[in-house]
A and B are shown apart, each in its own frame.
Chain A
Amino acid sequence: MSTVARERPAARPTGAPAGVPPRAELPAEHGRRRLRAGPVETVALAVLPVAWLWSTQEVLGQDWLWPVVGAVVSMALVAGLVRAVWPAFAGTAAAALVGAGWVTAVSAPDEALLGVIPTPEALRATMAVLGEGVQSIAWALSTPIDAEGAVLAAVVAAAVVLTVFVDLLGHGLRAPAIAVLCCAVALVLPIAFRIDVPWFHALPGVAAAALALAAPTIDDRVALGRGWVAPVALVAVAAVLAAAVPLVAPSPRESTLDLPTVEDLLRPTTPVLRTDIELGDELRRPEARPVFTYSTTDGGPIVTRLMTLPLAGPDGFLALPPEAAQPSPLVEGADLGLAMQMTVRMSDVRAEGLPTPERASGVEPPEGARWDDANDALRIEGSLETAGLEYVAAGSRSTPLAELAGAASTGHDELLALPDAAAAIGRQGAALVQPGMTAAERVRAVHAFMTEGVWDYSEQLDLPGFGGAGGDGWAALEGFLETRSGYCVHYASATAALLRGAGVPTRVVVGFLPGSEISGGFAVSTNDMHAWAESWVDGHGWVRVETTPGAGAGDASPSPEDDEQTQAPTRTPEPTPTDAAPTSTPTPSAAPSPGAPEPGASDAPGEGAGPGGIDPAVLRAWLLGIGALLLLALPWAVRQAQRAVRLRRGAPGAWQELRAALADAGVRLPASATPGDVQAAIAARVPPDAAAAADRVRLAAERAAFAGGPREPGACDADVRIAARGLVASLPPWRRALSTALPPSLVRVVPPLDVA
């Protein structure tokens, strides 16, 4: 019988006024247990990260799918199991641990214990791999990016971070309203990656977000034994409507407003200069970033070489394996023209080589670099911090084609070879020349073929089967010669292959156009990256054969005064002005208006806004800021509207509003909670005056609902304000800010019943 006293609920203090009902205090674990998500919501939140990533398959392919699904599913399972015993946050922490294991296993399995447990070395290796992966994605020149190695690690890491984020918000903080923000994915992706995302790729992401939003309601209805068809149908309709938006609305990339890109957001990343070329891929041109500045002893601009591709491989031109040697004069017994020296100051980039004059005659390799004689390039050994690197290189400019007089090309016969796949192009090149022609005449004949008539510059391939497909580069090049539409890589490769067929030893060079003039020298950005062909002509050495439309007439510009003549762009960082490219309308970065400074590009003094006008960059930043604020404030605004509507319904509406305010404060009482339970929960958290105000609202609402009392709007507004303020004040500041920005009550006020 000793159990008798123990069982009794806490009695009302005898001194309490008779008018106040005894407060049935809820057990402590009551509220915490209520914070659990239902089964549908749990599934929806677990699906969300994968569905979101799914919409990027145009960029990242599908190779990441199974590793990511494995990571997300195992994280969700572990989190669910842990959450069955411990509080929700422990589940999130466990999921984060599992996710860290996955990232380690994908990025640095050899350094980790058992392949998954990170050690300090593994952590360092992981960070390095992730950095590489992020930069590979941000600076990839073509899509899709193969999700292998570092890229796969970056994608898995993104999925892990996303899963932890969703888990923390959805389960830990019970604010599934975050799903609203995920709806914006379909809008953001095309801008971020500068590609068109097919609407059906975004559909799973949108549907999962809609499901995550509706899941609490579905769980409630299932728990209450009501039909779940209606909310699921609503989710389907919402998903279809959201997915239909891209079909009817213009693509944000085509709007005149220049929205920010992922590169803008990832500004601190280091640009990657890739010197291998893919003939079958479309060009994806990242935002311009500074690569280096230089000054020359004669004050003129110069084309610089980053890497030479002498080998005609099975899929296009390739670099040879590096061959260490001392820098040697590249042109034996040739007229080197006017010798000059250039002083290079590097910005932070990641590349295999460093820029040198197009015809280098002597280089003092800086620490960490050495001369690669096989490819005539200044190679970087391992990884080198290029920021601030400074070195001097001597060399000269290429001879203009018109001045070529060489009769033959000797000593480089290995540069005449073409693979079988390119034999047709070789024959085409041979047909362009007559047997009696000198080497210089042959070069001029091929150059004429490549520049006369209509040749389009386009960063997108018009060839069926290409454009993101990869694969057979020579077939793509044949297609290019038929359609006469491509970008510098195609012009350089085609010219080189034709010249080889015409009997002139030729190779492809990847390097930079002279760049834009700044005080005391020139600045070269990533947009100045270029490729061209280079032929050996006795007496002249290596001669640049420039055939890309708009990139110069084949002559190096001897001085800045000859800008108009040589057409080498020195003001805009774009190597190929778009007026030469009829198909370039969908290329977003192709047409920066001449007056608008490129954000992040070399901010040359004097390149600001025109006098009297608003700087478009400033205007854009303001518009973006306002837009972001509006998006962030959306849940809050909806919540305010909800409150206004509720208060118009008189006392019962005011009571609903108080219940919502309680939910915002993190307390969700189940549907079985009576007004007294709600009142007790409020009173336990607020000062006495606010508790009394809440009680007045309760009595007014009960009188209106159960005794036909008055319902005029506004009578309870003041009391609601007092009580709601008390509830908000009971939260710690960070929780207050969170519940204001993402009110939990927006999604669900009354969680499902706890049916035994």
Chain B
Amino acid sequence: MQADEQVEEAVIERAPGPASTPGSRIEDAVASVISGKAEEIRTVLTVLLAEGHVLLEDVPGVGKTQLARAFAAAVGGTVRRIQCTPDLLPSDITGMSVLDQGTGELRFQPGPVFANIVIADEINRASPKTQAALLECMAEGQVTVDGVTHRLPTPFLVVATQNPIDMEGTYALPEAQRDRFMVRLEVGYPDEAAELAMVQARETAQPLDAVRPVTTLDEFRADIAAAHAVRAHELVERYAVRLARATREHADVRLGASPRATLQLVRAAKARAHLLGRDWLSPDDVKALAAHVLPHHLVLHDPHARHEDARAVVAQALAGTVAPVMR
């Protein structure tokens, strides 16, 4: 318990003060569980605030589930996990109507998708049909079963994980499906110090248990609305559009960033601005998020191109686009 107390002390030390926002409190709470991954935590929080979804492509065991659970705990929401297999059916995700033996009525039994944070493990192992069903939920924010529409809770974040493509028995996500994720993220291995801290922290207890909600769902919803309301000057919006267009004009690119990607970019950038305590959008927000939001939307000419190549294209687009001049 000693380690937990230290963590909590650390949180309490930094939590109060005028600068404390729900966002920063969530960040600190998650960081107490996942050490050494501040950048990734910030990115996921940004997506959560921007009402987007995250695609994690990484080897097993680097803490994807821990990350999602910590977020759920910090916002005081629910978390569900779906292990995707080839025989998984769409109704296994959305839920179905079942006959209530007591009342004799058809009752909707919600599936695992009805949660604030849904972890869809190994999404590329599910059949395309099931993938489509999940992605539809993500896009619409609602589920329709037997003609009845059921709204999904807010905040609603899908963290889909995907094994590297060269593994066998997988259905790689088609471009159209990949387009629905706001951010593609690699968690990566922790560095030596972080891994050691993690091992030591778990000698006595599970740090996840110590995470208490630092905000209420209502408060967090208000935060989402505030992030959405961040002012975006035309110059900055134009910068985002030019960035997207630059990826389309790049010589190595077969399919550039879609207009949906541009929308997601601006939305995520607004969330970042809000997290940093600003009520206006800065070119830096766009630039910082472009590296996370744009690459997985691109399809390169080279069929063996990897994600790093797409990131390089985005970096070149950033270097080749004039930043808005403040006048």
Contacts and interface: CB of A to CB of B under 8 A. Distances in A.
B35 to A, nearest CB: 8
Contacts of B322: 224, 671-672, 753
Contacts of B35: 14
Contact of A707 (B280, B286, B321): B280
B223 to A, nearest CB: 14
Contact of B284 (A9, A21, A655, A704): A21
Contacts of B37: 11
Contacts of A756: 250, 316, 319-320
Contact of B235 (A655, A677, A705, A753): A705
Contact of B283 (A224, A670, A674, A699): A674
Contact of B188 (A5, A21, A671, A754): A5
B7 to A, nearest CB: 12
Nearest to B23: A18
A670 B287 CA distance: 14
B236 interface: yes
A13 B23 CA distance: 17
Interface string B129-161: 000000000000000000000000000000000
Contacts of A14: 31, 35-36, 38
A18 B27 contact: yes
Contacts of A703: 280
Contact of A706 (B27, B191, B231, B320): B231
B270 interface: no
A198 interface: no
Nearest to B164: A1
A754 B164 CA distance: 33
Nearest to B287: A674
B327 A19 contact: no
B281 A706 contact: yes
Contact of B319 (A17, A21, A754): A754
A615 interface: no
Contacts of B196: none
A195 B258 CA distance: 70
B189 A670 contact: no
Interface string A688-731: 00000000000101111111000000000000000000000000
B323 A705 contact: no
B288 A22 contact: yes
Contacts of A656: 326
Contacts of B308: 3, 7
B39 A674 contact: no
Contacts of B82: none
B42 interface: yes
B199 interface: no
B-side interface mostly: loop
Contacts of B107: none
B77 to A, nearest CB: 21
Interface in A651-709: 652, 655-656, 670-677, 699, 701-707
Given A21-B288, A754-B319, A8 B188 contact: yes
B139 to A, nearest CB: 28
B38 A12 contact: yes
Interface string A10-45: 011110011101101000000000000000000000
A402 interface: no
Contacts of A7: 186, 308, 311
A11 B282 contact: no
Contacts of B8: none
A707 B231 contact: yes
B279 interface: yes
Interface string B5-44: 0000000000000010101100100010001111100100
Contacts of A676: 282-284, 287-288
Nearest to A709: B280
Contacts of A670: 319
Contacts of B115: none
B277 interface: yes
Contacts of B286: 674
Among A14, A224, A652, chain B packs the most CB atoms within 10 A around the CB of: A14
A672 B19 contact: no
Interface residues of A, number: 41
B276 interface: yes
Interface string B298-327: 000000000010010000101111111011
Interface string B172-211: 0000000000000011110100000000000000000000
Contact of A11 (B39, B280, B287, B319): B39
Nearest to B234: A706
Contacts of A672: 318-323
Contact of B233 (A652, A675, A707): A707
A266 B235 CA distance: 59
Nearest to B19: A19
B59 interface: yes
B42 A674 contact: no
A5 B39 CA distance: 12
Among A5, A8, A706, chain B packs the most CB atoms within 10 A around the CB of: A706
A755 interface: yes
A117 to B, nearest CB: 44
A675 B278 CA distance: 15
A19 B42 CA distance: 12
A322 B288 CA distance: 87
Interface string B267-280: 00000000111111
B282 A706 contact: yes
A707 B279 contact: yes
A619 interface: no
B320 A705 contact: no
B280 A753 contact: no
Contacts of A754: 319-320
B92 interface: no
Interface string B58-81: 110000000000000000000000
Contacts of A671: 322-323
Contacts of A3: 308
Contact of B189 (A4, A18, A675): A4
Interface string A202-245: 00000000000000000000001000000000000000000000
Contact of B59 (A1, A18, A655, A705): A1
Given A14-B38, A670-B319, A755-B320, A702 B280 contact: yes
Interface in B226-273: 231, 233, 235-236, 250
A580 to B, nearest CB: 69
A726 B316 CA distance: 32
B251 to A, nearest CB: 8
Interface string A736-756: 000000000000000001111
Contacts of A12: 38-39, 42
A675 B326 CA distance: 9
Contacts of B279: 707
A671 B59 CA distance: 38
B288 A705 contact: no
The 6 closest A-B pairs by CB, nearest first: A676-B284, A707-B280, A705-B326, A18-B24, A706-B233, A4-B188
Given A18-B24, A702-B280, A706-B326, 13 more contacts: A4-B58, A4-B187, A9-B39, A11-B36, A14-B36, A18-B19, A652-B326, A672-B323, A675-B283, A676-B283, A677-B284, A707-B231, A753-B319
10 contacts: A4-B187, A22-B39, A670-B319, A671-B323, A676-B284, A706-B231, A706-B235, A706-B236, A706-B280, A755-B320
Interface of B: 19, 21, 23-24, 27, 31, 35-39, 42, 58-59, 164, 186-189, 191, 231, 233, 235-236, 250, 275-284, 286-288, 291, 308, 311, 316, 318-324, 326-327
